[in-house]
Structure 1
Amino acid sequence: MLIEGARLEFQNGKKRTCIVGPCGMGKTIIMAWMASQARTKGNRTLFAVHRQELIDQSSKTFAKLNVSHGIIAADYPINSSECIQIASIQTAIRRLNKIPEPQIIILDEAHHATAGTWRKLLAAYPNAFVIGLTATPARLGGQGLGDIFESLIIGPTVKELISWGNLAPYRYYAPPVKADLAGLKTVRYGDYDHKEVAMRMDRSEIIGDLIEQYNKFSPGARAVCYCASVAHSQHTAEMFRQANIPALHIDGETPKAARDAAIRDFRNGNIKILCNVDLISEGFDVPAMEAVILARPTQSLTLYIQQSMRAMRPDDDNPGKVAIIIDAVGNVYRHGLPDEDRVWTLDGTKKKKSSNEKMEFPLKQCPKCFSAHRPAPVCPYCQYKYPVEERTGPEQRAGELAEIVELEKIRRKEEVRKARDVVTLEQIALARGYKLGWIQKQCELKRIPFGK
């Protein structure tokens, strides 16, 4: 039990612990209960979030559970009589001298905790017990949270939450990437350079391909599309509208009233496609949302999980819901499927020990429906049967066998020769069971930058 786990960590002398659990685990509900229990002992709790949407959403959850609380955010008066406060981290930092000292600090989306504002909050209350909440205990670049937290408490897996009904099952489609992703630069924080990605993806023919994939795999569904830049997002929304599919773009500069109206229209189905960059990755809870479109390649496992799983909230009005994930940029070949069993540590994302280590996530891509799935003789989505290699019988003459083998070698070499980007090489390696070192070697030979 996660609550008991946190209690034991504190009893054993730890002051800061992080609870790890996928979206759908009910982390806010757990924290509301813990805060109410702390109040019965006379302890004050500060629940810190980093976005206005999370303020509103957390407040509604606390109110639904009859947990009275104050709000520390712009345009809200401080009610210091409440022992439980839900706070915007930006506002809390500006009002440190006005906030009664909390005994417990809860950090929502704790993978942001290494940022300067979060560190300043923790430094202001060094004696407080700290609990972090996150689905991915690593920064966007993969760095760990060991300099903030002393321990991790691991919750249920995505597979378990799906089996319990806390998350909807999903279908994952990864059509061939038409964008040229070869040579993308990696910036210092570990992800692809945003400007370069936007230049590759913000092209009419590529966005047109996104629309075609949407119409094929999730026609009529409410989908969030994750883009590479504001301009790319605006262009994508415009092209969806030209295809008679209601779509809007929102970003951090969109006025709050307009942003709230867009999300409201998306919830009620008047808008089918909601385009953004990174705005709708955390705390966006729309159970009726049926699909996501990944139109931005990323090397960040944290960002990938936050975005790919956004449509997997169960919907009481649609008990048979199956989320559709359309990966138009091959992120699955870098990070595996959303419900992979991952090992989390305070050291961050696990690195490959050597170039000879095997790839972590073996996958197959169905040539008929383009689904990405774990190795199986039959596609679980369209029931396509993969051809079985027939063994050559004893009547096969040596010359014929040699000719067949030679032709197969030529075909395989030609497939590698035509590969022009890392994504294609990753797909070949996955299909053939090659190790990571093979991809690195081919990138060297072809002078394709290999992102690290």
Structure 2
Amino acid sequence: MLAPAHSNVILRPHQETSVENVRAKMRDKLRRVILVAPTAFGKTECAAWIIQQSLDKGARAWFIVDRVTLINQTSKRFYGYGIDHGIIQADHPLTDPRKQIQIASAQTIARRSFDYLPDLIVVDEAHCEYQAVIDLIEKAGRARVIGLTATPFTAGMANHWDALVNGATVNQLLAQKWLTPLRIKACVTPDMQGVKKKFTGEYEEEGSGQRGITIIGDVVQTWVEQTRIHFGKAVKTIVFSPSVKHGEELCRQFAEAGYNFQQISYLDGSDKERQDKIDEFSKPNSAIDGLVSCAVLTKGFDVPDVMCGISCRPYRKSFSSHIQEMGRVMRVAENKEFGLWLDHSGNSIAFADDTAWLYEYGVASLSDAEKHDSTVREPTEKVRREHFCHNCGMQLEAGIDTCIGCGETRRKRGEIEIVQGELIDLDITTRAAFQPRRGLRADCLDDPRAMWNASLAYCLANSTRGEEVARKWAYGVWRGIYPTSKLPYGLFEAPCHQVTVKTAEYQLIEREVKRFRKKAPARRAA
């Protein structure tokens, strides 16, 4: 292994802000701080910068990954940053307990006992909670702990972390060109009625895979057509498959169409076999057109020039898996203007409002965040009707009534025809997902979270029947403004921030309350 290059990590402005916010929390005696930020934000770079600073102070730091297979990948990145380190793993050539910095997997931590403990612990993919890591953090009671994740939706996380720092949101990174936008198309999906569920509430892999096999012909045909339309040719693609059998059949039918798709899964014969496929796929002129992933590649996979993603694994609850999968196609690469997401699972529809909220606002708190992965959502026709052109299937820009693809005028509610199997484009912004009542216009309506806060502030100030009734009243007012939308999970119980309410927002709420009272004079307010 080559010696470290001794090059300090150079942080971008949004990373500098996040690092300072993490350090500020720790100065406030909050020992366990989790940094939440999207794919490609550079969470590892932030952690590496903090680790470099700890070296100068003589501190011992451990960086914990959630899989043994990520040890060497992380080690390579650390050497690129100039961070000398050892590896905590049996028979690894870089094993050296004398080094201040160590990289370990959660699995190795679970099998070892240690005579020494670190002063700083960094937990990558912190939403994948391992009891051994939780126990280590507890045992190293004086150590500072930093968690890194894009999806802090695991139940119980609020019990294991003291504070949360939001890095830049997806929409902020898109605006700054640190992420590539997605064009999302909802395609033909299998009928999942009657498929058995696991104890987690998700579909059984075998049943889900069998249903998915019935539409594989559409998956292949749609990919051929859409990559030709959007890119002029076949492009590097990843597919998320519900089962190994489904993946095998998918690879077979792609091969019949003349394309080389290779499956990687939890049943691979060896880590080397899987890594060889990933290494080949990572080459600019790869002989592999696509990788089919079964229960892998949702994290720790970094191939920026992937241009297309295909979702074939339906989720009922796992919003985090949906977000992780889409993130694989959003990394920036040369000459990559956008990524194409072909949704054969219905996930983009089922999680549309949640996705829009997360992309715009990030995560409010860990206690609210875990509700994202605990509630069943199903695809609905409402989202289909509101987010795509009935004529050509192109995305309808928020606030624009004319389709940029064909010039067709957006149809009014109740006039949209639903065509079986038609491709649609989804606009994953809060402006598109949370449409105000027709005829209601004001700049503040573009921020539905701020309008909820204003509604709550007004109702708490004017209700004489307690907080619970005031919140229900506020929800009624908010739904009057956004009649086709629901509050994202956890927001109903969130604290009210009266000091942030703007005059225009409060005045609009007052007008809405007066409007309601005029329509129903006999009904008293809460």
1:326-358 deviation line (CA, Å, top 9, x unaligned): 1112211111257454444211245699x9xx9
* Corresponding position of 1:145: 157
Q: Give 1:314's aligned amino acid.
A: V
* Corresponding position of 2:274: 259
* Structure 1 residues 378 and 350: alpha-carbon distance in aligned structure 2, compared to 1, 3 A threshold: farther
Q: How does 1:222-371 map to 2 (within 5 A)?
A: 222-254=236-268, 255-268=270-283, 269-298=286-315, 299-315=317-333, 318-336=334-352, 337=355, 339-347=359-367, 348-350=369-371, 363-371=386-394
* Structure 1 residues 12 and 216: alpha-carbon distance in aligned structure 2, compared to 1, 3 A threshold: same
Q: Does structure 1 retain, via aligned residues, the 8 Å contact 2:263–2:291?
A: yes
SS in 2 for 1:147: helix
* Corresponding position of 1:217: 226
For the pair 1:126 / 2:141, whether they are aligned, the reply is yes
* Corresponding position of 2:182: 170
Greater Cα offset, 157-166 or 334-343: 334-343
Q: Does structure 2 retain, via aligned residues, the 8 Å contact 1:359–1:435?
A: no
Q: Does structure 2 retain, via aligned residues, the 8 Å contact 1:174–1:372?
A: no
Provide the C-alpha distance between the structure 2 equivalents of 1:97 and 1:331, rounded to a whole number of angstroms.
43
Provide the C-alpha distance between the structure 1 equivalents of 2:408 and 2:434, rounded to a whole number of angstroms.
18
| 1:55 Cα deviation after fit | 2.0
Q: Give 2:401's aligned amino acid.
A: P
1:225-256 deviation line (CA, Å, top 9, x unaligned): 00001221122112211211111011123212
Q: Pairwise CA RMSD of aligned residues?
A: 3.3
* Corresponding position of 1:187: 198
* Corresponding position of 1:377: 401
Provide the C-alpha distance between the structure 2 equivalents of 1:360 and 1:21, rounded to a whole number of angstroms.
30
| TM-score normalised per structure 1 | 0.78
Provide the C-alpha distance between the structure 1 equivalents of 2:337 and 2:31, rounded to a whole number of angstroms.
41
| 1:138 Cα deviation after fit | 1.0
* Structure 1 residues 210 and 47: alpha-carbon distance in aligned structure 2, compared to 1, 3 A threshold: same
Provide the C-alpha distance between the structure 1 equivalents of 2:253 and 2:91, rounded to a whole number of angstroms.
37
Q: Does structure 1 retain, via aligned residues, the 8 Å contact 2:266–2:294?
A: no
Sequence identity percentage = 29
Q: Does structure 1 retain, via aligned residues, the 8 Å contact 2:59–2:120?
A: yes
| 1:295 Cα deviation after fit | 0.5
SS in 2 for 1:285: coil
Provide the C-alpha distance between the structure 1 equivalents of 2:23 and 2:410, rounded to a whole number of angstroms.
54
Q: Does structure 2 retain, via aligned residues, the 8 Å contact 1:28–1:61?
A: no
Q: Does structure 1 retain, via aligned residues, the 8 Å contact 2:69–2:271?
A: no
Q: Give 1:370's aligned amino acid.
A: G
Specify which of 10, 18, 22 is matched with residue 34 of structure 2: 18
| 1:304 Cα deviation after fit | 0.4
Q: Does structure 2 retain, via aligned residues, the 8 Å contact 1:73–1:91?
A: yes
1:73-99 deviation line (CA, Å, top 9, x unaligned): 34414211211111111112222326x
1:59-113 deviation line (CA, Å, top 9, x unaligned): 2221111111112234414211211111111112222326x31011111011112
* Structure 1 residues 383 and 20: alpha-carbon distance in aligned structure 2, compared to 1, 3 A threshold: farther
* Structure 1 residues 342 and 28: alpha-carbon distance in aligned structure 2, compared to 1, 3 A threshold: closer
* Structure 1 residues 360 and 32: alpha-carbon distance in aligned structure 2, compared to 1, 3 A threshold: farther
1:25-69 deviation line (CA, Å, top 9, x unaligned): 111111111111011111111100012443222222211111111
Provide the C-alpha distance between the structure 1 equivalents of 2:350 and 2:196, rounded to a whole number of angstroms.
16
* Corresponding position of 2:169: 157
Provide the C-alpha distance between the structure 1 equivalents of 2:418 and 2:411, rounded to a whole number of angstroms.
20
* Structure 1 residues 435 and 20: alpha-carbon distance in aligned structure 2, compared to 1, 3 A threshold: closer
SS in 2 for 1:274: strand
Gaps of 5+ in 1: 390-407, 419-428, 438-452
Give the structure, 1 or 2, with the largest relative contact order (CA under 8 Å, sep 6 or more).
Answer: 1
SS in 1 for 2:203: coil
Provide the C-alpha distance between the structure 2 equivalents of 1:14 and 1:360, rounded to a whole number of angstroms.
43
Provide the C-alpha distance between the structure 2 equivalents of 1:184 and 1:342, rounded to a whole number of angstroms.
33
Provide the C-alpha distance between the structure 1 equivalents of 2:251 and 2:91, rounded to a whole number of angstroms.
32
Provide the C-alpha distance between the structure 1 equivalents of 2:382 and 2:34, rounded to a whole number of angstroms.
25
Provide the C-alpha distance between the structure 1 equivalents of 2:486 and 2:24, rounded to a whole number of angstroms.
40
| 1:19 Cα deviation after fit | 0.3
Q: Does structure 1 retain, via aligned residues, the 8 Å contact 2:65–2:125?
A: yes
* Structure 1 residues 209 and 97: alpha-carbon distance in aligned structure 2, compared to 1, 3 A threshold: same
* Corresponding position of 2:212: 201
| 1:314 Cα deviation after fit | 0.8
| 1:373 Cα deviation after fit | 5.5
| TM-score normalised per structure 2 | 0.68
Provide the C-alpha distance between the structure 1 equivalents of 2:177 and 2:235, rounded to a whole number of angstroms.
21
SS in 1 for 2:72: helix
Provide the C-alpha distance between the structure 1 equivalents of 2:102 and 2:195, rounded to a whole number of angstroms.
44
Greater Cα offset, 163-172 or 118-127: 118-127
* Structure 1 residues 60 and 328: alpha-carbon distance in aligned structure 2, compared to 1, 3 A threshold: same
1:143-163 deviation line (CA, Å, top 9, x unaligned): 251011111100101111112
* Structure 1 residues 123 and 377: alpha-carbon distance in aligned structure 2, compared to 1, 3 A threshold: same
Provide the C-alpha distance between the structure 1 equivalents of 2:213 and 2:99, rounded to a whole number of angstroms.
49
Gaps of 5+ in 2: 1-16, 228-232, 421-432, 438-482, 488-526
* Corresponding position of 1:66: 82
* Structure 1 residues 182 and 342: alpha-carbon distance in aligned structure 2, compared to 1, 3 A threshold: farther
Q: Give 1:274's aligned amino acid.
A: L
Provide the C-alpha distance between the structure 1 equivalents of 2:86 and 2:381, rounded to a whole number of angstroms.
48
* Corresponding position of 1:104: 120
